[in-house]
A and B are shown apart, each in its own frame.
Chain A
């Protein structure tokens, strides 16, 4: 019998991948250079793939007969468990790569900690996803450095992106009951424990990019608890539209 905390934990991972994959797919046809069109699509495809595996797994854990699409397209907004960071609009390319970078560093720390999970399916997904995430991190880090330490304009835009997104990273590590229960059961790692690894990955790159690291504030987003920003509603309305308009139809 799967605990509610176990299911919730997997949904957080699934929804992070789902929502960020959706955001990245919005860049199609609008990337700054042709090579990057293909690169961003590769990242989006990886994330959509991860979300499919994780949502299918969540569906099995839930044992209520819901498959990956029913979970992706038919939940109400407050039932999504993604970090607020990934639902924010893409903004300019600078904001997109900084967001990708901050999130990929987090995902890598997470995937590195999960192969030891007693949930064997989750462990397997983590091992496969780690390779993809390593590439996402490398790719976005290269951009962060080049644009941070490029022209005055690119530096200003990147600094502005970091300043805007940084407060949303506090949510990565806030303690909560789901994490404690899951960690105690050996099913997963408490996200708060990932902070040192995340900082070790992120801070040196920001320094190399000549970008200032913002101070911590009291701001806490809470998408992973189901309380989202105003942005998620619009994203889901677009994403879910066809399924809602044709209930029960096959595609």
Chain B
């Protein structure tokens, strides 16, 4: 956005700033800090510390990659959706996720990186995406549980980001949140229909809940005490609520929802703690979490392979369209 450094010959304002003197840098840093302190936004062409820029690129692109990879587990059930209405709803939801990836890549591009670079990093295994999408969708009920729990968790994380300090990211998140609200509702609606159905359908829901519950809790990331990036991100206005706080908020909300559904959350130690005013819950298996984050989860290899294949299979398409546009530009005049 606003002139990419990629192919513009003259020195851009950002370049001038990077070669600024120490005095000028201090002034820029002070202005940047003052903006954050008064809750003002940082926009694309504003000066920003390199570490802020890099952290944002990492965080926004990880978010984008998650949306794109996340299309695969749910996409797995579109052709098998049990009614036409559910088929259309699921297709629209997965389409939204593609759209969210697109908005987020666009936001990342304002920081001086190209979408292709980001995608290549993902395919080379250098970039991460949310660990939750490395789990398989084994039944139709998984689709409902993903809407209810995975999207529910994502929404908790995403709403605070609408106020993050970086303007393009905040605006992308506002758009995402508007669209996301139907995602959780359709999942819950799907599960309600199953729970009101046959015994086999009810068992399908309980089984899916059993498999997804703990991985969903892991979505919120490691405990605050073990979290690498939390403090600096909070100072920069990128991360406004801690992992543990978000996780607790989520559990507190979901328990009541599980009751409405009539499904049991697979944690026998889950109980209301009157003194704390929150639900106490069991220990998370962080071994499993790190395994999955490090590429050894149930579907890591397949997910990446599918994305790489789609990209490589599509190379001739992207090149063909580009070649056509270059031919047209080379012609002096052409009837419309």
Contact = CB atoms under 8 A, between A and B. Distances in A.
A241 B84 CA distance: 13
29 contacts: A25-B79, A25-B91, A28-B75, A29-B306, A29-B310, A31-B314, A34-B68, A37-B71, A38-B102, A41-B95, A42-B95, A48-B88, A48-B91, A52-B85, A52-B88, A69-B83, A93-B313, A146-B321, A149-B324, A150-B319, A150-B323, A153-B319, A239-B80, A242-B81, A243-B82, A250-B196, A251-B86, A251-B193, A251-B197
Nearest to A242: B82
B200 interface: yes
Interface residues of B, number: 53
A155 B324 CA distance: 11
Given A28-B75, A154-B319, A37 B95 contact: yes
B201 interface: yes
A1 B85 CA distance: 29
Listed residue (B79, B190, B194) with the most chain A CB atoms within 10 angstroms of its CB: B79
Contact of B82 (A22, A29, A30, A251): A251
A38 B309 CA distance: 18
A121 interface: no
Closest 7 CB pairs of A and B: A32-B314, A150-B320, A154-B320, A41-B95, A32-B317, A242-B82, A28-B75
Interface in A63-94: 68-69, 72-73, 92-94
B315 to A, nearest CB: 8
Interface in A34-61: 34-35, 37-38, 41-42, 44-45, 48-49, 51-52, 55
A93 B72 CA distance: 18
Size band of the interface chain A makes with B: 35 or more
Contacts of A29: 71-72, 75, 94, 306-307, 310
Interface in A5-43: 18, 22, 25-26, 28-35, 37-38, 41-42
Interface in B80-108: 80-88, 91-92, 94-95, 98-99, 101-102, 105
Given A28-B91, A29-B75, A238-B79, 10 more contacts: A29-B306, A30-B313, A34-B101, A41-B94, A92-B313, A147-B324, A149-B327, A151-B320, A241-B80, A251-B190
A32 B322 CA distance: 13
A120 B80 CA distance: 33
A38 B99 contact: yes
Tell me the dominant secondary structure on chain B's binding face: helix
B196 A34 contact: no
A148 to B, nearest CB: 9
A239 B80 CA distance: 5
B21 interface: no
Interface string B315-336: 1111111111101000000000
Contact of A28 (B71, B115, B323): B71
A218 interface: no
Nearest to B140: A242
Contacts of B324: 145-147, 149-150
Interface of B: 68, 71-72, 75, 78-88, 91-92, 94-95, 98-99, 101-102, 105, 115, 140, 190, 193-194, 196-198, 200-201, 306-307, 309-311, 313-325, 327
A139 interface: no
B176 to A, nearest CB: 14
Given A28-B75, A31-B314, A41-B92, A150 B321 contact: yes
B318 A33 contact: yes
Contacts of A38: 95, 98-99, 102
Contacts of A249: 82, 197-198, 200-201
B3 to A, nearest CB: 22
Contacts of B115: 34
Nearest to A18: B84
A146 B320 contact: yes
A134 interface: no
A238 B78 CA distance: 10
B90 to A, nearest CB: 9
Given A37-B95, A48-B84, A243-B82, A151 B306 contact: no
Given A28-B94, A73-B82, A246 B198 contact: yes
A45 B316 contact: no
B83 A251 contact: yes
B44 to A, nearest CB: 21
B203 to A, nearest CB: 12
Contacts of B190: 251
Nearest to B319: A151
Contact of B323 (A37, A154, A250): A154
A154 B315 CA distance: 10
A154 B81 CA distance: 34
A31 B105 CA distance: 17
A91 B78 CA distance: 18
A147 B317 CA distance: 7
Contacts of A44: 91
Nearest to B204: A246
Contacts of A241: 80
Contacts of B325: 146
Contact of B80 (A45, A150, A242): A242
Contact of B91 (A18, A41, A68, A155): A41
A51 B91 CA distance: 15
B253 to A, nearest CB: 26
